[in-house]
Structure 1
């Protein structure tokens, strides 16, 4: 029977002329404890240069020494990184006094990407196999899966990459044996990290990605600011790293706290999310609208039209309310689409949809961006608004500022004040994705939802006195009641 893992680790370090630091012993004891439970699901987050991957390699050698029939799959962001761990485990098996007997005689069983130790069972899969996260894993089986640095900048710096990474990692449940062990090793590289300990509401998450995993988070410093490995990372060394890398990178990589490592101008975590729909009531001869208990004072609807064809710009309508405290409520984003099989022309189809939405959300005015396609639409939209019975005017807007400037000016102040509330239905649109990927200097890519919301935020909200002349519906926008002054003169 093999010894406990902390002793196995200390023996290996001693054979290499090294001592075992206290932080490594802490991790070793944690691994020893957690691997003994049925179907262990583990996450080890430890600061950069902690030696966590090397330590996990020693753990793999220990697991094979205790159960040679074990099959281990190592997944990394790329194959080269996974190979490093496999090679490390091979060297440990060759040189550790407790594992030398595991090395096979046949060299074809001792490769750089996979190897098979001396074992009793005849199994199709090797004892240890290295794979990149983007490779095909169909048909692979493993008793232990090590996800070693699967989240790195090149797998997490855009929304699409983060979603693709999550999708690939969910496939591991079909590879792992029923009582198998799964161990994630790494540091967070973005706010929407797979290692987050709380769900990201802005992504529509109800549980975090690694929900149910036992976690060990090991930052380089204690809460009192003392180094957990003073022999290698003195306080001065830690401060030097902070100065060199900056606070965001230091916080994520050395303190293991998710941060936006890139300089995001629009951070979705600053948004406030809500579920309530608009509440309608009548009082004192007028309509009153409210959301989440807040009475609404004004509304802005912004339509940035396009043909809505695949590959081109999207035709987007954004609706933003303002409450009496001045905070914003992004209630709805609609992508206006056309039906190629319809007998009606594309402009009429789009204007019909916008008119129905205007009626549904009590819009009193729509700002229509007339750059390009929009200059043909105002009269058609007015016609469809009249046919639908919506008491809503049309304001023609020509955008003269660069798009990046419009977006920054619209979002900067309210986001800094955390004054933008977003209905959860908006999570089904590309809005959050566009926020995450947007950069002022970036060219190309979609930002249609972002641009429409920016227009609604920055446009002058419609208040009382600016309704269409033909409007006979009850007015809901906040105004002062009319008063008549008494006079003592005749005209």
Structure 2
């Protein structure tokens, strides 16, 4: 590295660029800049999503070439395209920073040289994806910018392949002076960041919140906290929200958190926000709602490499009920009630199986919804036998489709969604024939996403947020054991009931608008879903 005393530090270089760009620089960026300049040869920078780490890294690269034009960097990300973004950003800094505007020499996006570079074979900056071939290259520094992502960590095979590529960097770096930098957020329980830290790496970890305390299931009204709470989060996913002090909860002088009544959901308490000017309460609530699972929140914002097996679908978080849906006629309008709760929507989801040895159960689930978005898991039934049994005149007299029809009529189901992968592809036409005269619609659904991820994304947010109820018959059935034993790492496990339940939840809501049964018995006014009809009303003031 150059010993020229006139060269400025990276922090000064960054602040000059920030002033030119009109940025307000938070203290966490100052901390990151100082650490990047003085870190050890093996280093890990973990910082939360939205931190701006790749932007800072591009300015750092420009400073490296300013400080020493012979410096060579191999920059790798999860794909070539992402790596090229940092390459372009670094070029932009070089061409426009007041200290480096004449430093860029020649080259494209993948590799290019600065003036003063003395290696025509190895570029000043070589940017490629982590799975690309870099054998034969030489560098002063290897950068791994968000190389760990869901696509390369979901299986042990993918994780092993990623580590094999990372090991190649050891043979690329110059002896004794070579540097390795890992920068990003963890995406798996077996994170490369933890493994690198265990090797003695110099680590800087900047979380969204410095202090954290979790109540997995808040069944009490009073909780003594180890710090003075500033943010209280309720649940996760679409049901999540940031609670309001003095309205939703109270805090005493001795740091006791008090609720008016037990929330009976997951509660997260935080303090010491890293960047409150940018991540306001409204922004945090939006991000919390759009985060599908609590492990994803923990990894992307609190930077915990959570074991995926900790994400359990705990049946004890289901709220029990014993009512059956009842269709009522009053004032010439039909409505549906579950006890004293009016139901405004429902969905039945059928993951069909032909009952072959070793195949999944042919699972049909019914999920009801109320106006507040609560989910009521009414039944999880297994259809058995042949798909259809035919009598005279090709009339359906039995089989799985007849069992579905019986449940459709019994529960006034307005729509059955049929999963069409595998054997389900030819089920809809036969089911339509079986349901003739009921008024029940059939919708086809082709599923191609990862099943374990789909189950977690659908079930965990309402489960942890207290929005899912289960009928007593469901709680006594085989679906509950599948929830209890579910492990997202396993691809071969008994999960047919909860897979069907996930499909029903992901398809919700479907608004119910018909009286189900035999068409000849239907009345003209058969709508029991609350409608949006307009009325003219005379007033006399």
Aligned to 1:217: 205
Runs of 4+ with >3 A deviation: 260-267, 405-413, 434-442
Q: Does 1:20 align with 2:18?
A: no
* Cα pair distance change 1:266/1:145, threshold 3 Å: farther
- Secondary structure of the 1:168 match is helix
Quote the residue 2:168 is aligned against: 171
SS in 2 for 1:170: helix
The equivalent position to 1:115 in structure 2, one of 112, 117, 123, is: 112
Q: How many residues align?
A: 270
Alignment partner, residue 7 of structure 1: 12
What is the match of residue 510 of structure 2?
Answer: none
CA deviation after TM superposition for structure 1 residue 123, in Å = 3.5
CA shift for structure 1 position 412: 4.3
Distance in 2 (CA, whole Å) between partners of 1:114 and 1:159 is: 32
- What residue number does 2:283 align with? 237
Q: Are positions 1:196 and 2:194 aligned together?
A: yes
Matched-pair contact (CA < 8 Å) for 1:189–1:261? no
Cα offset for 1:437?
Answer: 4.6
Instruction: Pick the aligned partner of 2:135 from 127, 134, 138.
Output: 138
Q: Which residue of 2 aligns with 1:255?
A: 302
1:262/1:16 CA distance change after superposition, 3 Å: farther
Shift of 1:195: 1.4
Cα deviation for residue 235 of structure 1 reads 3.5
Indicate yes or no: 2:95 matched with 1:94. yes
SS at match of 1:142: coil
Secondary structure in 1 aligned to 2:178? strand
CA displacement, residues 136-180 of structure 1 (integer Å, 9 cap, x when unaligned) = 111111111110111001111111101111111111100111111
Moved more, 180-189 or 122-131: 122-131
Deviates more, 1:128-137 or 1:222-231: 222-231
1:65 matches 2:66: yes
- Matching residue of 1:227: 273
Aligned to 2:304, the other structure's residue is in SS state: coil
How far did 1:19 drift? 2.3
Q: Which of the two has greater strand per residue?
A: 2
How far, CA to CA, are the matches of 1:141 and 1:174 in structure 2? 8
Does the aligned pair in 2 maintain the 1:115–1:127 contact within 8 Å? yes
State the shift of 1:121 in Å.
1.7
Structure 1: how far apart are the matches of 2:144 and 2:493? 31
Give the unaligned 5+ runs of structure 1.
198-207, 268-312, 314-404, 416-431, 443-491
> What per-residue deviation string (whole Å, max 9, x for no partner) do you get for residues 206-227 of structure 1?
xx67511111111111215232
Maintained 8 Å contact 1:189/1:260? no
Could you give the per-residue CA deviations for residues 429-485 of structure 1, whole angstroms, max 9, x where no partner exists? xxx9x955555459xxxxxxxxxxxxxxxxxxxxxxxxxxxxxxxxxxxxxxxxxxx
Cα distance in 1 for residues equivalent to 2:171 and 2:165: 11
Contact 2:153/2:159 (CA < 8 Å) preserved in 1? yes
Change (3 A) 1:131 1:17: same
1:30 CA displacement: 1.1
**Deviation, structure 1 residue 409:** 4.8
Specify the SS of the correspondent of 1:185.
strand
- Report how far residue 21 of structure 1 moved: 1.6
Aligned residues: CA RMSD? 3.0
Deviations 1:200-245 (A, max 9, x none): xxxxxxxx67511111111111215232111110234223322331
Q: For 2:312 and 2:285, how far apart are their aligned partners in 1?
A: 27
Contact 1:266-1:438 at 8 Å conserved across structures: no
Per-residue CA shift, 1:338-384, capped at 9, x if unaligned?
Answer: xxxxxxxxxxxxxxxxxxxxxxxxxxxxxxxxxxxxxxxxxxxxxxx
Contact 1:47 1:218 in 2 (8 A): yes
Please give the residue correspondences for 1:255-294 in structure 2 after superposition, counting only pairs within 5 Å. 255-260=302-307
CA distance 1:172–1:266, change in 2 (3 Å): farther
1:264, distance to aligned residue in structure 2 (A): 5.6
- Tell me if the contact between 2:309 and 2:489 (Cα under 8 Å) persists in the aligned partners: no
Paired residues for 1:314-329 under 5 Å: none
Q: Indicate the residue corresponding to 1:185 in structure 2.
A: 183
In the aligned structure 2, how far is the partner of 1:439 from the partner of 1:27? Answer: 44
Structure 2 residue 51 is matched with structure 1 residue 32: no
Q: TM-score, normalised by structure 2?
A: 0.46
Mark the runs of 5 or more structure 2 residues left unpaired by the alignment: 212-269, 315-357, 359-476, 497-541
> Which piece of structure 1 moves more, 126-135 or 226-235?
226-235
- 8 Å CA contact retained: 1:265, 1:439: no
The residue aligned with 1:160 is: 157
1:101 Cα deviation from its structure 2 partner: 2.2
- The residue number in structure 2 matching 1:80 is 81
* Structure 2: distance between partners of 1:73 and 1:212: 22
Structure 2 distance, partners of 1:218, 1:259, is 17
SS of the aligned residue for 2:74 comes to strand
